[in-house]
Amino acid sequence: LYYTPSNTSTKTPILATHKNLHGLLTILSEELPDQPLYYTLPDLCHTLGCTMPPMDKIRCALTNAGYRVSIYHKEADAIKTDAPNEVLWDV
């Protein structure tokens, strides 16, 4: 099955669109709704003058410190967390 978006003449598989939508909805359901701000790791590392560690290591460090953390649906290298700024900068 395919559909043709109104602004193009190319056909897009519905299955691919379904998978993309399912992935986005999954990320949104796991995102921390009570945390309005997000942190972009490249910006944090640029400020500190260091290379960016893998996202998984940052998430694990914050989780092991007892804080909640999730990825942000609009930015691939961003996180949302309830950790205080001091803890985030120390990680």
Per-residue pLDDT of the chain (91 residues; tens, 9 = 90+): 555 666 666 666 666 677 777 777 777 777 777 887 889 999 999 999 999 899 999 999 999 999 999 888 788 899 999 999 999 888 8
The beta strands (E) that lie in 23-66 are given as 39-40
Give Cα separations from 91 to 12, 15, 32, 62 (angstroms): 42, 40, 19, 7
* Predicted local confidence at residue 42, as pLDDT: 92
The beta strands (E) that lie in 28-68 are given as 39-40
* Predicted local confidence at residue 34, as pLDDT: 83
